[in-house]
Amino acid sequence: MSVTQILFWFLSVLAVISAINVVISKNAVFSVIWLIITFFSISGHYILLNAQFLAVVNIIVYAGAIMVLFLFVIMLMNLGKEVEPQKNKWLRLAGVIAGGCMLLVLVSALKDAETANQIAQVKEGDIGLINRLGVALFNDYVVPFEISSVLFLSAMVGAIVIGKKD
């Protein structure tokens, strides 16, 4: 096994284990911590695929901004101490079975797909570098980029209006 394969399997196992821990941990603060570990391992996958810009943006936006926002809200509500009411045991079992069936159906459908033996380029190729992405973003995608700034403005106004005490 080469170093790339070892890194791939390590990051994959880390991502799956921490994602399972997000779902099963009782305390909401621990869920946030495990989700941050998941995001870091997905960023590691991006670095492995040489998508360096997305790796950095993933760490800054998700693991930085969004998770801090989640942690802030959880601590504001003081949810860490009290025990969350659990769903009925049979309902939880039905949820797990439904998700497992979905995984089974999708895996068996995509197992023999035409693309199954193609290769994703790892640790080379320059399309993930900020130079190429920036050129494409400000030439071909400049209108969606401007529209996303309007989206951010409206989201900010919406969050303030909803969160305002009246």
Q: Closer to another protein at the Cβ: 81 or 107?
A: 107
What dihedral angle (degrees, nearest 10) is formed by the CA atoms of 53, 56, 57, 62?
150
CB of 52 to another protein, least distance (A): 10
Compute the distance between CA of residue 103 and CA of residue 109 in angstroms, rounded to an integer.
10
Q: Which amino acid is at 116?
A: A
To the nearest whole angstrom, how small is the minimum distance from the Cβ of residue 78 to another protein?
10
Angle 67-77/28-48 helices, nearest 10 degrees? Answer: 180
Maximal C-alpha separation, the chain:
61
Q: How far is the CB of 81 from another protein (least distance, A)?
A: 13
Nearest to 19 by CA among 5, 1, 40: 40
User: One-letter amino acid identity for 13?
Assistant: V
CB of 136 to another protein, least distance (A): 5
